[in-house]
Amino acid sequence: MMQDRQSALQLIAKTTDRPTTMRLFARTSLSRGHQFFRQVVSPGSWLLAAVHAAIFTVAYWLAYLLRFDFPIPSASLDIFWATLGWVVGLKLVVFAAFGHFHGWWRYVTFADLVALLWASLASLLAVGSVNYFFQLSHYVPRGVLALDCIMTVLLLGAVRASWRLFREMIRPMLNEKDCRRALLVGTDLSNGILAHQIQSYFHLSYRVRGLLSTGETTPGTRLGQIPILGRLEDVREIAAAYSISDVFVVAGTLPGPRLRKLMDACAQGHLELKIIRPLEDRLGGDNHIPIRDIEINDLLGRDPVTLDTANIGKLLEGRRVMVTGAGGSIGSEICRQVARFNPKMLILVGRGENRIFHIERELRASFPSIELRPCIADITNQQRMTQVFEENRPEVVFHAAAHKHVPLMEVNVGEAVRNNVFGTKCLADLADLYGVKNFVMISTDKAVRPTSVMGTTKQIAERYVHTLSQESSTRFTVVRFGNVLGSAGSVVPIFQEQIRKGGPITITDPRMTRFFMTIPEASQLVLQAATMGAGGEIFVLEMGEQVKIVDLARDLIRLSGLPEQAIEITFTGIRRGEKLYEELYFEDEQTLPTSHSKLRAAYHRPYSLDEVRRSIAQLGRLINEPEDVLRRKLHEIVPEFQSPTDGISPAAAPRETRSVKASA
């Protein structure tokens, strides 16, 4: 058969005056013919044709019965028998041409019913034409033909829908005892589709008993055939009334505080709370509905970040982009986000060879078309960084390299100054010298009214970047945000490790609060801020409400599947440099909204470039002096810095250790 097809193609190609067009036409036609032939000769198609023939016969017989009010006159009965063969045969040909013998109707949709209607109308036209032009002696009444078309649609539609009805309603009812009853939160269209998907997958161990309304939807109504049983706030009562064991929430449906309340209600009602990916994330063709346990990111519960991809693309596409600290939590995610916009070159700068190796390997696998330049370099080494700039000529720089751990920097003051201040100065000077288009420094909320060496050094770095922007053609901007969930050394992985070991979870103070973001959320907004800066702005990410660290610890205990009382929480007292709460702005900083709802612009206090350079030069002369000398100098440059040695910081208070159970 394959040789015949090739010979036919060669013959057509030789005899045509338009070889390219005709080859394509011939190839397409033969391919379709081959598919039709395979469909017709397959055993399953013959069986389907036999089923259709039986249904067509019944439909034709019912049409005669209805046309003559059931007693069929003998003359009409003779016409029925005389025409039955060619009517059924012609309808089989039409339905085969419309592709109706291709499957066993397991997934019937409205599109299938529309296709059935078109095939029935086409068969009516074909039978009517033959009847009008050729059947002179055995003319079929037109009323019979119309009724036959209607009965064909009804009977075939009923037969085809019966299999889906069995799968979605009858089979789950037979398997009801082995399934867990669940409630689905939300009453929008996508949730209705999801609920019916869960019902149709009989192999799942869940059945959706009803929906919970999160807004104004009236309980007692239905979405499809799924009842809306009540409001979210009444979940415990509804679960008890309908013997519910699980509650499903589509990721992103509820904001963090409301999800937290639902988690509390489910814990009190002994219900399992599960998270399901949203509809758009389930279109990967994996043919299953992934259900997972709730995660700490879900409790953050902010609206997803929407990016201005057009402007980000203009900034990054086809350009040479450098990321410092490319192996770190934020730096590596910035690399992933940048790579999505097809830069000409991505320069990965970092001191740790292992982490640069891993991010380079990941990016090469995911973005093979992008040129990657891994550079093992220390940002405080001006000679090496000059070489990197000279060889790669970056056009956009994201500066994420920094020492960030507050307690460590309190006992390594010189290194904090060297990396955070002089490393930033080195990069900013080179960006100015080599004509970088955009330079984005990633800062921290700890730079506002700092009580730590780390925060103070980031504040001085902010000042230098801003003052340099006044005299440079490079657009220097700063992005300031708080703690990042899941980053290396952050509280979440520390708490998880402590829970794995059986506790205790150590927290410095029960009053301590922090701003939190997810790593992708922070990185995406860094890219967005880069497109908006004209130079000299501080962009502050909208962090939502501060979260109490002790509440975060209790949530993690519950998410681990343990009773709250199972893990002890120990309060150890505030460490050197720590604050009870963080701030995103100085009191005298003017903040303005931007075109993006999750970014605000804070215009910094005025400093002159000469003034900041003098301060940094003085720090440089003292960098190898004893730490108390450096601390005093930092306090002189940043008067808000409350050094522990001054007896001002709350960290100077006597350390106190006390323990409570997680339910306290």
Per-residue pLDDT tens over the stretch 52-101: 888 889 988 988 888 888 888 888 888 888 888 888 888 888 888 887 76
Q: Could you tell me the pLDDT band of residue 649, with boundaries at 50, 70 and 90?
A: very low
Which is nearest to 211 in space by CA: 193, 197, 192, 198? 192
Exposed, middle or buried by CB within 10 Å (0-12, 13-18, 19+), for 56?
Answer: buried
Q: Which of 274-283, 495-504, 510-519 has the lowest mean pLDDT?
A: 274-283
178 has a pLDDT exceeding 70: no
Structure tokens at 528: 């967005």
Q: What is the DSSP string of 599-629?
A: EEEEEPPP--HHHHHHHHHHHHHHTTS-HHH
Range among 204-208, 331-335, 419-423 rated most confident = 419-423
Average pLDDT estimate for 41-54: 72
* Interior angle at CA 538, CA 535 and CA 541, nearest 5: 130
Structure confidence at residue 107 as a pLDDT band (50, 70, 90): low
pLDDT for 294 equals 54
Q: How many CA atoms lie within 13 A of 144 on its CB side?
A: 24
| Cα(442)–Cα(141) distance, integer angstroms | 83
- Per-residue pLDDT, averaged over 547-557, amounts to 76
The model's pLDDT over 157-173, given as tens digits with 9 standing for 90+, comes to: 887 777 666 666 555 55
CA dihedral 421, 613, 476, 608 (to 10 degrees): 140
Superfamily of domain 310-487+516-567+583-647: NAD(P)-binding Rossmann-like Domain (3.40.50.720)
What residue segments make up the domains of the chain, in order of their start? 1-37, 42-161, 175-294, 310-487+516-567+583-647
Residue 148 has pLDDT above 50, yes or no: yes
Q: How much is the pLDDT for 596?
A: 64
**What average pLDDT does the segment 613-633 reach?**
88
For the cut 50, the answer to whether the pLDDT of residue 186 exceeds it is: yes
For residue 176, pLDDT over 60 is answered with no
Question: What is the average per-residue pLDDT within 617-631?
Answer: 88
Mean pLDDT of 165-190: 69
Average pLDDT, the chain: 76
Its pTM stands at: 0.56
pLDDT in tens, 453-491: 888 999 899 899 988 988 889 999 888 876 666 555 566
Question: To the nearest whole percent, how much of the chain has pLDDT over 90?
Answer: 16
Alpha helices, DSSP H, located in 245-308: 256-268, 296-300
CATH class belonging to 175-294: alpha beta
Inform me whether the pLDDT recorded for 562 exceeds 80. no
Domain 175-294 matches domain 310-487+516-567+583-647 at the CATH topology level: yes
Instruction: Please say if the pLDDT value at position 306 is more than 70.
Output: no
Reported as half-sphere exposure (CB side, CA atoms, 13 A), residue 552 has a value of 28
- Structural tokens at position 597: 């709802």
Of 510, 503, 497, give the one whose Cα is nearest residue 563. 503
Peptide bond into 43 cis (omega under 30): no
At 65, list the tokens. 């019965």
Least confident of 290-299, 332-341, 431-440, 549-558: 290-299
